[in-house]
Amino acid sequence: MQMQVEKYDLPDARGHFGPYGGVFVAETLQAALLQLNIEYAKAKADPAFVAEIQYELKHYVGRPSPIYHAKRLSEELGGAQIFLKREDLNHTGAHKVNNTVGQALLARRMGKRRVIAETGAGQHGVATATVAARYGMECVVYMGSEDVRRQAQNVYRMNLLGAKVVPVDSGSKTLKDALNEAMRDWVTNVESTFYIIGTVAGPHPYPMMVRDFNSVVGKECLTQMPEITGRQPDVVLACVGGGSNAMGIFYDYIPQTGVRLIGVEAGGDGIATGRHAASLTAGSPGILHGNRTYLIQDANGQISDTHSVSAGLDYPGVGPEHAWLKDSKRAEYVAINDDEALAAFHRLCRTEGIIPALESSHAVAHAMKMAPSMTKENVLLVNLSGRGDKDMATVAERSHAATGYPQ
Ligand SMILES: *Cc1c(COP(=O)(O)O)cnc(C)c1O
């Protein structure tokens, strides 16, 4: 089925991307989501709100981020030219701040002085704590107690920024338990509190809203690529955890049917081992966190354990818009395993002097796979979603026979 891309205006009014998305939450949350939907629609249509976001993205985040021609890497591979959209150069070092700035400004507009978030690896918690400090808001971040232990540095960062990190001791003491706690807080304090979700998942309008706030990335590429290369790229690649950096760079390219869109999931130890986080490549549709999408689940619909060397991709679901882009074949999804991502990480460090996030290294790895069989005139655009400073310990402790590089 070829999508009618000229008419692409999803989601529909009830938050559906084809059979995906929607609002699968308890009745107590329905009213809050409806209010959010109405307020967001008003804000989006208000030129003052749009201008405020643009100002913040320019002066606080440092946008627009450049596009960089990875010339040495491309020459070594001997095929297509690889370009990197440098989201790693944003304030806080990744794309996540594009979204937290937008949601915090919406919270302020709605008169909410308190923001909450849940976080797994801590990256979204830090991005939320950052904007809460910037706009003088109270900030509470829920985090599984197991994650608090594993991600001590990000907990310290959030504390420095004035946020309160609440360890969650229930269940597996990880992300999904933190999420339940954040939902509970929101239901209880909905008058004063705005819930900042960190990726294009959750109930409507979150997948749409987070996509919109990140779509500045693709919008910039649409004007930057012709300035640099005289045309749009042949392929746009991005890693997919929940899918926000990928939706951010894909969205404005959806109507450009000549441009292939490729999402790169975490293949972990390899799809065949079952130790991965590739929901679209190896999962099946179901309902999680308020929406219908592809999930990694067993035959009884129980969510399976996931694995990836990069904490930011280690999520058993994916945003519902990606589920639709997969089924409609407008985008393709592939998996890159831990070893391939680590090899790409080292290769980019050494050829270009850029230390990428392990998440982003998955997208770089797939571009490296594609480039040699393409011509020198072909252009690959990779969303370099973040920088790798946070990953030093992980990279150092992984012995990596595939590259032979020192650890
Ligand atoms: C969190 C994170 C991701 C994964 O989240 P998406 O919503 O899939 O973008 C990817 N890259 C970096 C650098 C991250 O911090």
Q: How far apart are CA 175 and CA 384, in angstroms?
A: 24
Pairing status of strand 284-288 against strand 291-295: antiparallel
Nearest residue (by CA) to ligand 1, atom 1, is 312
Q: How far is the centre of ligand 1, averaged over its atoms, from the C-alpha of 242 (Å)?
A: 7
Sorted by where each starts, the structural domains of the chain and their CATH numbers stand as 17-58+96-210 (3.40.50.1100), 64-93+214-403 (3.40.50.1100)
Nearest residue (by CA) to ligand 1, atom 10, is 359
DSSP secondary structure, 55-74, as one string: HHIIIII-PSPPEEE-HHHH
Helical spans, DSSP H, in 12-151: 27-44, 47-56, 71-77, 96-109, 123-134, 145-150
Is 96 a residue of the active site? Answer: yes
Pairing status of strand 114-119 against strand 193-195: parallel
Give the mean model confidence (pLDDT) for residues 18-32.
95
Q: How far is the centre of ligand 1, averaged over its atoms, from the C-alpha of 243 (Å)?
A: 7
**73, 221, 245, 268, 361 from 279: Cα distances, Å:** 30, 27, 16, 12, 18
Q: Does ligand 1 come within 6 angstroms of the Cβ of 98?
A: no
Cβ distance 111 to 142 under 8 Å? no
Atom of ligand 1 nearest to the CA of 318: 8
Q: What is the pLDDT of residue 405?
A: 55
H or E element in which residue 139 lies: strand 138-144
Cβ distance 229 to 215 under 8 Å? no
Q: What is the pLDDT of residue 198?
A: 97
Q: What is the pLDDT of residue 176?
A: 85
Cβ distance 275 to 26 under 8 Å? no
Is 118 a residue of the active site? Answer: yes
Q: How far is the centre of ligand 1, averaged over its atoms, from the C-alpha of 95 (Å)?
A: 7
CB contact burial 88-109 (16+ within 10 A = b; e otherwise)? bbbbbbbbbbbbbbbbbbbbbb
pLDDT band at 397 (very low <50, low <70, confident <90, very high): confident
Q: How far is the centre of ligand 1, averaged over its atoms, from the C-alpha of 198 (Å)?
A: 9
Q: How far apart are CA 335 and CA 396, in angstroms?
A: 23
Average pLDDT of the chain is 95
Give the mean model confidence (pLDDT) for residues 243-253.
98
pLDDT band at 172 (very low <50, low <70, confident <90, very high): confident
Please give the single-letter amino acid code of residue 231.
Answer: R
Q: What is the pLDDT of residue 6?
A: 62
Read off the pTM: 0.96
The model's pLDDT over 287-343, given as tens digits with 9 standing for 90+, comes to 999 999 999 999 999 999 999 999 999 999 999 999 999 999 999 999 999 999 999
Q: What is the pLDDT of residue 3?
A: 41
Residues ≥6 apart with Cβ < 8 Å to 57: 63, 98, 101, 216
Question: Among 329, 230, 347, which residue's Cα sits nearest to residue 280?
Answer: 329
Give the mean model confidence (pLDDT) for residues 122-134.
97
Q: Which of 65, 244, 279, 385 is catalytic?
A: 385
The model's pLDDT over 56-65, given as tens digits with 9 standing for 90+, comes to 999 999 999 9
pLDDT at 407 over 80: no
Residue with tokens 């999520």: 315
